[in-house]
Structure 1
Amino acid sequence: MSRRFVVGKMKTPGTGGKDLRAGYKYSMITTREETSLKQNTTTKPDLEPETFRPNLSEQSDLLQTDQIEKLAKNLPPRTVGYPWTLIYSTAKHGMSLKTLYRSMTGVDTPMLLVIKDSDGQIFKWTGDNMFFIKGDMDSLAFGGGGGEIGLWLDGDLYHGRSHSCKTFDNHILSKKEDFYVQDIEIWAFE
């Protein structure tokens, strides 16, 4: 099992309980759904707003369609309606914090970082502090407070560590405190 860090109904016309076909010898009343099925087409259910189905520059290796839709619903309003552009992926660019930083150079938009290890889960900001992200050439850290870091990655993007922290009020994000990174993707909203 792998974890990722980081979320239509059809109305059928009713007949009011009456059998409308009774008394009709040669004609039959059918619903739109029945007619569509006979014509080998299906009626489309009401779709959710397109704002929750973002346009991705390419397919994600880490996120499934339902996960992308859940994430899109929970992202800040300023990201809604913008296409997701993949700016970094360990599968394409290799495992290097320096390469990750280089790929982000000149990008001045909100970004989404997706990390996959052998376990993992999603967490949210509590509002208790502003310790979102700290990075240098040796490591990248997310969240803090109480002397702990919510998520820490080494400079090779190979080793990670997770603790509970006040920023996200999270449990550790892996089954173990220390873990190995399998893949990372960074998406920009531009």
Structure 2
Amino acid sequence: MRPVQQSIKILYYANKSEEPFVEIVTVKQQNKRRPSVCSSADSESDDLLPVLIDHSQILNEHHLEQLMNHIPVRTQGYSWKLVYSTAQHGTSLTTLYRQMRELDRPVLMVIKDTDNQVFGAFSSDPFKVSSYCYGTGETFLYSFSPEFQIFRWSGENSYFVRGFLDSLQMGGGGGPFGLWLDSDLYRGSSYSCSTFCNRPLSLHHDFTVRDLEVWTFV
């Protein structure tokens, strides 16, 4: 049953000495989140799934249910639009940057490796080449390998994201990166880092990318 919201509506005053006549108006509280493309009218839980404007090679309803509960509130209730996909755009970090050149909103990276493990990162800023680290404390790493876990900012440093022409780095602190990808978006690695205090996102520290997608919220 959906929660209800009550509001008090004063209809009139009988006279100056009497209490006003009051009516309790009950209004159904609207769910601000949009239904999933695969939702049914009878499924209450499906209402919480986002609309995917484009087809995903990786994400299923289980992934969406978990991720939807952890992305920042300001990105919830929006449809998800595919900005970059290795299946559509080829395997190139340069192309990934180019696809986000005009973007000014958060992005969600989703990776599926050759072990069929799904993991990735939410970035408060679109990925770009930069001479410095960028991003905010909204940035996090996550993994479904073997069960869903999310690794938020530890507060120890601000090495959220840094983009080079030959690699993309997330997390750090005097050692390996929480998530690292090469220029071909083919080889990657994931180690524990002080930025997110994460465990390795993949089954192995070094992994090979099968599919990679980056989504934004519109």
Which amino acid is the alignment partner of residue 59 of structure 1?
A: H
Q: Sequence identity, in percent?
A: 46
How far residue 127 of structure 1 moved from its aligned partner, in angstroms, is 2.8
Matched residue, 1:150: 178
How far residue 145 of structure 1 moved from its aligned partner, in angstroms, is 1.8
How far residue 59 of structure 1 moved from its aligned partner, in angstroms, is 2.0
TM-score (norm 2): 0.63
Structure 1: tracts of 5 or more residues without a match? 1-7, 9-42
Comparing both structures, which one devotes a greater share of its residues to helix?
1
Which amino acid is the alignment partner of residue 93 of structure 1?
A: H
Cα deviations by residue, 1:78-113 (Å, 9 ceiling, x for unpaired):
101111000100011110001101111101111101
Matched residue, 1:183: 211
Is 1:164 matched up with 2:192?
yes
Question: Structure 1 182/49 Cα, relative in aligned 2: closer, same or farther at 3 Å?
Answer: closer
The answer to whether the 8 Å contact 1:143/1:166 transfers is: yes
Aligned-partner SS, 2:62: helix
Comparing both structures, which one devotes a greater share of its residues to strand?
2
The answer to whether the 8 Å contact 1:120/1:175 transfers is: no
Q: What is the CA RMSD across the aligned residues, in angstroms?
A: 2.1
Which amino acid is the alignment partner of residue 108 of structure 1?
A: D
Structure 1 stretches of 4+ moved >6 Å:
none
1:84 and 1:97 mapped to 2: Cα distance?
Answer: 21
Matched residue, 1:105: 101
The answer to whether the 8 Å contact 2:110/2:118 transfers is: no
How far residue 120 of structure 1 moved from its aligned partner, in angstroms, is 5.0
1:112 and 1:90 mapped to 2: Cα distance?
Answer: 14
1:78 is aligned, of 62, 74, 77, to 74
Matched residue, 1:34: none
Deviating more after overlay: 124-133 vs 155-164: 124-133
Aligned-partner SS, 1:173: coil
How far residue 54 of structure 1 moved from its aligned partner, in angstroms, is 0.8
- Counterparts of 1:38-49 in structure 2 under 5 Å? 44=42, 47-48=44-45
2:152 is aligned, of 98, 119, 125, to 125
Q: How many residues align?
A: 148
How far residue 146 of structure 1 moved from its aligned partner, in angstroms, is 3.8
1:157 and 1:44 mapped to 2: Cα distance?
Answer: 41
How far residue 178 of structure 1 moved from its aligned partner, in angstroms, is 1.4
